[in-house]
Amino acid sequence: MRKNIRLIFIFFLILILKNLAYADILKEYWKNAPSLKEFPGVSAIVLLDEITAEVEKDGSKTIIEHEIIKLCDKDGIERFAKIYYYYLKNFQEVNLERAAVINEDGEEYALKGGLIKEETPLPKSPLFSNIKFKTIILPQVKIGSIIEYKIKLKEKFPQIYKNFWTASFLSDFIPILDSRFILKVPKEINFNYKIIGEEKISPEKTSQGDYFYYKWKFNNSSKIPTERAQLPSGALSSKILISTIPSWDYLASWCYKLFKESAYSDKAVKKLTLDLTKDKKKLKDKVKSLYDYIKKEIKALY
């Protein structure tokens, strides 16, 4: 009994010390953050954008996203007061490690559990029932506030055994002052990387146990110019791409093995198709009948 109490005490002590360390980091950014006058006309300023990819020996990975952002106007509040994080429930799990707000007067507010919700974007469609998103509602957000959140996205299994791929976006429609990408990868896994749109820098490389650590750091990444009817930021952003996949042929072969057994119609599928379309004369109506059945009855697991 005493041992259990001691373990519980140690756990909560570690949790408290961890939160205090995070609070110190946020206070430091609050003290050194640029004023709104230094960046006129922007909705927000990203003070820290740190993405860490931790790859396991089987190829599965955990992505840790740590963001510290200063909100400059109402558009910035509208974009960042609620954080939407999409994931595939059968394949990934999401955990919020920290979320907090510090206002211009230095008052800090931590997120409470009731402000995190899991939702299904298309609740009436079984086809996409595996797609979920968590809504994180940040408290007491005002113009001039600095927000911080740290989210962990963990894969339950690798998509391709001993292989992985990932990307980190280095620019946005708002300024990013400090962008970092950290990769932890087993020493026996080789990978290729490519930097698009930014200076081609080499990572800092360190070794720890069975893993190599690579760290890329970009300061004052180029802001994406805005214009009407433009593509999303992800399509225009500078980025770093990382993959172990040797070729498109290798990927195509892997994809083919996944669906080759279901790519051909057996007797049951042909009979069902005839039953669903037997009263339809026009091709358009036949296609709609099949579509409606799939939409209602078929579930896609990604």
Residue in the block written with tokens 């950014």? 29
CA distance 22 to 20: 5
**Number of other CB atoms surrounding residue 126 within 10 Å:** 15
* Residue 10 confidence (pLDDT): 45
Cα–Cα distance, 34 to 40 (Å, whole number): 11
User: To which H or E segment does residue 64 belong?
Assistant: strand 61-71
Give the pLDDT of residue 302.
54
Residue-level pLDDT at 165 = 95
Does the structure show a pLDDT above 80 at 289? yes
Residue 46 β-bridge partners: 69, 176
Helix, strand, coil in percent for the chain, rounding step 5: 30, 35, 35
Closest of 186, 153, 244, 177 to residue 58, by C-alpha: 186
Q: What band does 187 get if pLDDT is binned at 50, 70 and 90?
A: very high
Each residue's pLDDT tens digit, 123-140: 766 667 788 888 898 888
Strand, coil or helix: 217: strand
67 membership: H or E segment, kind and range: strand 61-71
Digit-coded pLDDT (tens) for 207-265: 999 999 999 999 887 788 888 878 888 888 899 999 999 999 999 999 888 887 777 77
Show the domains of the chain with their CATH numbers: 2-251 (2.60.40.3140), 265-297 (no CATH)
Q: What's the DSSP call for residue 187?
A: T
87, HSE (Cβ side, Cα atoms, 13 Å): 20
DSSP string spanning 139-175? SS--TT-EEEEEEEEEESS-SBTTB-EEEEE---SS-
243 close to 165: Cβ distance less than 8 angstroms:
yes
What pLDDT score was predicted for residue 6? 53
56: closest CA among 251, 217, 244? Answer: 244
Segment among 102-106, 109-113, 149-153, 175-179 with least mean pLDDT: 109-113
Cα–chain center distance at 276: 40
pLDDT tens-digit series, residues 62-112: 999 999 999 999 999 999 999 988 898 889 999 999 999 999 888 888 877
